[in-house]
Chains A and B, each alone.
Chain A
Amino acid sequence: MRINLRNMLDNQVGTIASIKVSGELGRRIRDMGLVPGIEIKIQGRAPLYDPVAVRVRGATLTLRNNEADYIEVEVE
């Protein structure tokens, strides 16, 4: 099942299916190691539920929800 990164639950695991954004944000997302095929896990969210912390390649990255919207994830 494909869902939006924003809608993933805490501790849920999935594989990035696509990243639908170009320009500065798209470049930044890829530079940080978020590319299709990579496994991610939701580590937690800030006290106001935004941004979200994601575990990827053994490191923790944070994204705002409106940035996470562009990332689609394949989950079980």
Chain B
Amino acid sequence: MAPTVALAGNPNAGKTTLFNELTGSRQHVGNYPGVTVEKKEGTYVRDGFRLHIVDLPGTYSLTAYSLEEVVARDFLVNQKPEVVINIVDASNLDRNLYLAVQFLEMGIPICIALNMIDVAKKRGIKVNAEKLSSLLGVPVIPTVARTGKGKKELMDNAFQIIHEHQQLNPLKISYGADIDPVLVEMEKEIAQNHFLTDIYRARWIALKYMENDEQILTLGRKTDADLSGRLEDQVNKVSRHLQNTLETYPEAVIADQRYGYINSIMKQGVVHHKYDRNRLYSSDRIDKVLTNRFLGPLIMLAVIAGLYHFTFTYSKLPVGWLESFFGWLASTLSTVMPEGLLQSLIVSGIIDGVGGVLGFVPLIMFMFFGIAILEDSGYLARVAFMLDRIFRLFGLHGSSVMAFIVSGGIAGGCAVPGVMATRTLKSPRERLATLLTVPFMNCGAKLPVFALLIATFFAKYEAVIMFLITLGAWGGALLVAKLLRITVIKGAATPFVMELPPYRMPTFKGLAIHTWERTWQYIKKAGTVILGLSIVLWAMMTFPGLPDSTVAEFAKLRQDEMSRVPAGIVAQLEASHEDTALSDPARNLKERLQRIDAAEAEAGLRYSIAGRMGSALEAVSKWAGFDWRTNIALVGGFAAKEVVVSTLGTAYSLGAVDPEETDSLSATLARDPAWSPLMAVGLIVFTMFYSPCFVSVICISRESGSWKWGVFAMAFNTVLAFALAVFIFQIGSILGLLVK
């Protein structure tokens, strides 16, 4: 097997750029087992020699504070990479070395890439790499990952470490007079008892006990509760002493001493600053405008509108191509294949289902490309910075906004890319609350449903009602997020402390890789499950078929119609093609036959499992004024919200209605005594809030790492939506509002 090289470093230090530079297209993305943290792996080839490169998640420390840190640390301990390349930002050296010091404390062989040396130079920062290397005892190579400068020398050093099987003595820092002697004692006890020493070094275990590291404590208690208790007692004694004398605690002292150690290195002529460190650079001058109290929000609105426009306008063309392709495929197969169940399964089940999933692909690509630009340039962090105050009120995070906008915060988005956009959120609880509430936004598929109901009952107030619907979606989503954050996703806000990285020009290579890997994941993971589910939904609306006697009755009705006219007219109709001009009697006959077909389709739908569910649900749904037809349509809407309109059409014997042309359906609904403006309002609210479509449900399950949350979204949203619809219908009925 090829030796493993792990890339580690702070976020924004250029880790991913270096990874792309080393591996090119020989990379793939997966997940670390059991968690949703992305794992990027690739291969570096030189002179026929291969290295397996793993890009660890970006972290500031190895304290097991976040999921990323736990994942990175576990990988280093369990997989034991031959060498770790630690990428540090040369213009921000002291803070970046905090992580490097922790690698050295663990005794992991590292090789430091002193990255962005060009940026540092521009900022008047001179770093003496040789001096740093000799002080730390590890190779330090200046690099510029964006241009590939220093790559060869860096890899030369990595190869050397691998070939010579270099071992590193763990770095021993003094953590002060209070901690050092206790640490020595603990180390001795750990070594004597071989306590976890098969995995970690004794001193490091002692250090982690001192730092109150939850992961190691849990493991320790499980391994040897007795010894673990003794170690904890020792730590507690030091803790009490530090608290009484210095009002501090061991973990803080250790961190301070690490920085102290770094400081002592820096002072030995490693770094030379030409200017004041905290002076402002061009990036900060841009920030003066982009985060300005008045201009900032305006520019942000423009940028968000721009992203939205870019995603949903420019993806229209390729989406249209895909739709025409699947339309063509469906109609070709319909003519080539004999009519029957198999044709229905392939055309209505598989092609419609899979086509529905692949139809999202251009949308997702465009959206991820747009977000990658905002992310890689550093603007996304500013958006989070500006909006955090508002979103925090509802238990969310400033970064939540992107997901909401993409999902349809401006009516017409799509929850699928919206759910996937929550990946830019690093706080687990805030992220979960966001991905559970983004489906409340008004996605493009809900719009035909609203358009139909508004055109039927509120034609005069179209603009006002659309505005209210948008407002209602935001209000509902934020309030539900708050509700979730004080109930099922309870917990203190994740610390917001984050970096505003300097603005950078994104590289096209980086954007392309970013976009493609996320899109591919969507196709691969969503595609397989959705194929199965489309078949299930198709079967529910098809089986059981009408009994033979009923089919025979419809056949007889057709025969009767045909026998009522002269044989010549029947022959003319049978010989005709779609666009042949027909004589009046023939056209008349054709229309009457179509009406019978539609009636048969209605009867078939009602007889199917979905139809029976719709009828059975009437007992409950009548509280909101929904009849069986509406129920089936809403069940169908679980496949995709636009199906609500076409299924209503079938249920009203109009044949499948094209969501774009709903005039006849609109007229039918207006006439039907079961429908009233009040019920329409209830139905609009229900459509806004009920279960996300199943593509979204699958994405929610994937992104949250558990099917539990996908099921939760389906059940909770539907109950909530139904309660709202019943409330509206009942109160309205009592007050006599909006009746026909």
Contact residues of B between 86 and 120, Cβ < 8 Å to A? 91-92, 94-95, 98
Instruction: Please state if B297 and A27 are interface contacts (CB–CB under 8 Å).
Output: no
Q: Is B278 an interface residue (CB 8 A)?
A: yes
Number of A-B contacts (CB under 8 A): 120
The docked-state distance in angstroms from the alpha carbon of A29 to that of B255 is 11
Measured between beta carbons, the chain B residues less than 8 angstroms from A31 are 60-61, 63, 65, 98, 255
Q: How far is the CA of A8 from the CA of B390 in the complex (A)?
A: 22
A49 and B98 alpha carbons, distance in the complex (Å): 31
- Contact: A33 with B94, CB < 8 Å? yes
Indicate if A32 sits at the interface (CB-CB under 8 A).
yes
A27/B499 in contact, CB under 8 A: no
How far apart are A47's CB and chain B's nearest CB, in angstroms?
Answer: 5
The answer to whether B252 has its CB under 8 Å from any CB of chain A is yes
A33 neighbours in B (Cβ, 8 Å): 94-95, 98, 259
Residues in A with CB closer than 8 Å to B498 are: 32, 61-62
Question: Is there contact, CB below 8 Å, between B495 and A24?
Answer: yes
Q: Is the CB of A57 within 8 A of B385?
A: no
A20 vs B61: C-alpha distance when bound (angstroms) = 20
User: Does A59 make an interface contact (CB < 8 A)?
Assistant: yes
Name the interface residues of A41-60: CB closer than 8 Å to any CB of B.
41, 43-44, 46-51, 53, 55-60
Known pairs A35-B256, A53-B385, A64-B392; A58 contacts B496 (CB<8 A): no
Interface hub of A26, A27, A48 (most chain B Cβ within 10 A): A27
- Which of A40, A49, A58 has its CB near the most chain B CB atoms (within 10 A)? A58
Interface residue A30 (Cβ < 8 Å from any Cβ of B): yes
B98: A residues at CB distance < 8 A:
31, 33
Q: A32-B60, A32-B497 are in contact. Are A51 and B388 (CB under 8 A)?
A: yes
> Is B21's CB within 8 Å of the partner chain A?
no
Contact A57 B65 (CB under 8 A): no
Residue in A13, A22, A32, A44 whose CB lies within 8 Å of B95: A32
Q: Is the CB of B284 within 8 A of A43?
A: yes
Binding site secondary structure of chain A: mixed
Flag whether B658 is at the interface (Cβ < 8 A): no
Could you say which residues of chain A place their CB within 8 Å of the CB of B390? 48
Given contacts A55-B278, A57-B92, contact A29 B386 (CB under 8 A): no
Interface flags for B278-294 (1: CB within 8 Å of A; 0: not) read 10000010011001111
**Which residues of A, 6-41, contact B by the 8 Å Cβ criterion?**
13, 18-20, 22, 24-36, 38-41
Q: Is the CB of A50 within 8 A of B251?
A: no
Contact yes or no, B500 A60, CB < 8 A: yes
Complexed CA–CA distance, A31 and B98 (Å): 8
Size class of B's contact patch? 35 or more
Complex alpha-carbon distance, A59 and B89, angstroms: 11
Collect the chain A residues with CB atoms within 8 Å of residue B94's CB.
33, 57
- A64 and B388 contacting across the interface, CB-CB below 8 Å: yes
Task: Please determine whether A67 and B389 come into contact, CB atoms closer than 8 angstroms.
Answer: no
Contact of A50 among B91, B95, B256, B389 (CB under 8 A): B389
Say if the beta carbon of B716 comes within 8 Å of chain A: no
Using Cβ atoms and an 8 Å threshold, which residues of chain B touch A51? 385, 388-389, 496
Q: A75 in the interface, Cβ–Cβ < 8 Å?
A: no
Q: How far is the CB of A24 from chain B (nearest CB, A)?
A: 6
Pick the residue among A22, A30, A63 that contacts B496 (CB under 8 A).
A63
Alpha-carbon gap, A59 to B497, bound state (A): 13
A67 touches B252 (CB 8 A): no
In the complex, what distance in Å separates the CA atom of A47 from the CA atom of B296? Answer: 8
Q: Is the CB of B277 within 8 A of A44?
A: no
What CA separation (Å) do A31 and B53 show in the bound complex?
26
A61–B249 contact, CB under 8 A?
A: no
Q: Which listed residue, B251, B388, B499, touches A22 by the CB 8 Å rule?
A: B251
CA distance A49 to B293 in the complex (A): 9
Q: How far is it, in angstroms, between the C-alpha of A59 and the C-alpha of B251 when the chains are bound? A: 24
In the complex the two chains form, is B284's CB within 8 Å of A46's CB?
no
Instruction: Please give the distance in Å from B512's CB to the nearest CB on chain A.
Output: 28
How far apart are A37's CB and chain B's nearest CB, in angstroms? 8
With A46-B388, A47-B386, A48-B390 as contacts: A62 and B251 at CB distance below 8 Å: no
Q: Select from chain A the residue with minimum beta-carbon distance to B125.
A: A58
A32 surroundings in chain B (CB, below 8 A)? 60, 95, 497-499
| CA–CA, A36 and B248, complex, Å | 12
9 A-B residue pairings within 8 Å (CB atoms):
A25-B497, A27-B61, A31-B255, A39-B277, A47-B291, A47-B297, A50-B389, A58-B92, A61-B497
Q: Known contacts A28-B65, A30-B252, A57-B92; can you find 6 more A-B pairs with CB under 8 A?
A: A22-B251, A31-B65, A31-B98, A33-B94, A58-B91, A62-B499
